[in-house]
C-alpha cells in the first residue's frame, strides 16, 4: 500500500551510492542476516564530505555510499526531493545478535545538528521498518530536522543484500514524524520511555492482527494509552492522535504480519525504556569496537575472528 507523503519541508538525511548498482532481491520484512561489513553513508547535499568521513569512518575501513533525492522516494515514499536536500549522514555497523538496534547521534564540530529526532526515535522507526542487530551513528555538518536520516540505513542494508519492504520503511518514517509533538512534550529525559511505549504498542497490534483481530482506531488508542501510562508518560490529545493514525497505517503493512517482528519489537521496547541520552551504544559494545567497526570481511570471517580471540585467551 502507499502511505501519506511526508511534507517536502522535512530535511532528508543520509544515504548511499546514487549511480552504483545494487543487488536485486525480493523485499524482506525483517533483517534476518548479520550485516557483513560496516558502511558509511554520506548525504549528497553534505558540504563537508571529508569532515564527515573523518567523524564516521576515521580509519577509512567502511564501505562508502551516497544518498540522493531518488533514494528518498524509494525508501521513504518522498517525491520531488533534491539531491542538495540530502544532508545528514550515517554509519551502520554490525551489532551482536540479539542486541536489537542501537543508535548514537554524534556531534559535528561540537554541535548536535540533528534538531528534531532522538536516538530512541530512530531506533523505534528502524525496528518498525525491519532493521535488527545494527549500530547506527547519525550526524550532520549543518542543522537539519533529521526526520529522514534512516534512509541511509535502509540503503546500506540493500547494498548488503537485505532489501526491506518499501511500505514498511515508509510507514516507519511516518511513525517517527508522528511522535515529534509527543517528544517535544515529554522532553529528552523520557525519550526512551516514549519510543518504548510506541514500539510496544506496535508489537501488540501485530500480535492481535496475527491472531485475526485487527484493532480499531479506538482499540489502538486504548493500547497506546495503556503503554504510555505504564511508563509514566502523559501527552496531550493533540500529540497522541498522530501516533494513533500512524499506528493504524502500520497495522496494514506487511511487517505487521511477520511473526519475528513481534519478538523483535518487544525486545526493542524493553531496551528503549531503559535508554536515555543520544548514545545508546557504548564503548564496551563488542561489535561497536574499533576492530569490529572497521571489519570488511564477511560475517563468517568476523565470527571466526571472535572465536579465535576468545580461544587465545585460554590457550
The burial class, CB within 10 Å (0-12 / 13-18 / 19+), for 83 is middle
pLDDT value for 6: 31
The per-residue b/e assignment along 144-172, b for 16 or more CB within 10 angstroms, e otherwise, is bbbbbbbbbbbbbbbbbebbbbbbbbbbb
| Tens digits of residue pLDDT in 238-291 | 999 999 999 999 999 999 999 999 999 999 999 999 999 999 987 545 444 444
Average pLDDT, integer, range 66-77: 85
Q: Map grid coordinates 543520544 to a residue.
A: 278
Cα angle for residues 244, 15, 83 (degrees, 5° grid): 95
Whether residue 105 is predicted with pLDDT greater than 50 in this model: the reply is: yes
Mean pLDDT in residue range 185-203: 97
The pLDDT-based confidence of 40 (bands split at 50, 70, 90) is: very high
- 57-69 pLDDT, tens digit per residue, is 988 889 999 988 8
Residue 31: its pLDDT value, please? 85
Q: How do strand 39-43 and strand 86-94 relate by DSSP bridges?
A: antiparallel
Does position 201 have pLDDT exceeding 90, yes or no?
yes
Q: Please list, in sequence order, all residues whose beta carbon lies within 8 angstroms of the beta carbon of residue 1, skipping any fewer than 6 positions away.
A: 167, 252, 253
Residue 312: what pLDDT?
A: 46
Rounded to 5°, angle at Cα 244 from 240 and 245? 120
pLDDT digits (tens, 9 = 90+) for 122-151: 999 999 999 999 999 999 999 999 887 898
- Looking at per-residue confidence, does 17 or 233 come out higher? 233
How confident is the model over 15-42, as a mean pLDDT? 65
The residues near 174 (Cβ < 8 Å, ≥ 6 apart) are 3, 4, 6, 246, 249
Amino acid at each position: 500500500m502507499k502511505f501519506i507523503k511526508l511534507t517536502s519541508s522535512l530535511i532528508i538525511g543520509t544515504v548511499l551510492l546514487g549511480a552504483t548498482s545494487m543487488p536485486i532481491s525480493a523485499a524482506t520484512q525483517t533483517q534476518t542476516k548479520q550485516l557483513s561489513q560496516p558502511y558509511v553513508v554520506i548525504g549528497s547535499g553534505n558540504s563537508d564530505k571529508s569532515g564527515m568521513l573523518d567523524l564516521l569512518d576515521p580509519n577509512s575501513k567502511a564501505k562508502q555510499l551516497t544518498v540522493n533525492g531518488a533514494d528518498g522516494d524509494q525508501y521513504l515514499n518522498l517525491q520531488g526531493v533534491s539531491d542538495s536536500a540530502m544532508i545528514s549522514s550515517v554509519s551502520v555497523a554490525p551489532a551482536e545478535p540479539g542486541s536489537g538496534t542501537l543508535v548514537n547521534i554524534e556531534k559535528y564540530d561540537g554541535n548536535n545538528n540533528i534538531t528534531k529526532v532522538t536516538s530512541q526515535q530512530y531506533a523505534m522507526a528502524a525496528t518498525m521498518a525491519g532493521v535488527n542487530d545494527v549500530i547506527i551513528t547519525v550526524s550532520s555538518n549543518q542543522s537539519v530536522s533529521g526526520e529522514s536520516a534512516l534512509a541511509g540505513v535502509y540503503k546500506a542494508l540493500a547494498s548488503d543484500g537485505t532489501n526491506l519492504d518499501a511500505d514498511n520503511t515508509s510507514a516507519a518514517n511516518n511513525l517517527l514524524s508522528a511522535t515529534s509533538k509527543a517528544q517535544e512534550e515529554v522532553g529528552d529525559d523520557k525519550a526512551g520511555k516514549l519510543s518504548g511505549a510506541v514500539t510496544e504498542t506496535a508489537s501488540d497490534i501485530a500480535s492481535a492482527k496475527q491472531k485475526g483481530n485487527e484493532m480499531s482506531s479506538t482499540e489502538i488508542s486504548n493500547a497506546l494509552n495503556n503503554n504510555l501510562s505504564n511508563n509514566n508518560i502523559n501527552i496531550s490529545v493533540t500529540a497522541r492522535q498522530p501516533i494513533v493514525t500512524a499506528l493504524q497505517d502500520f497495522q496494514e503493512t506487511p511487517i505487521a504480519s511477520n511473526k519475528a517482528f513481534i519478538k523483535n519489537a518487544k525486545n526493542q521496547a524493553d531496551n528503549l525504556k531503559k535508554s536515555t541520552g543520544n548514545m545508546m551504544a557504548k564503548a564496551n559494545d563488542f561489535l561497536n569496537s574499533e576492530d569490529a567497526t572497521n571489519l570488511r570481511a564477511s560475517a563468517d570471517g568476523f565470527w571466526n575472528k571472535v572465536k579465535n580471540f576468545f580461544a587465545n585467551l585460554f590457550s
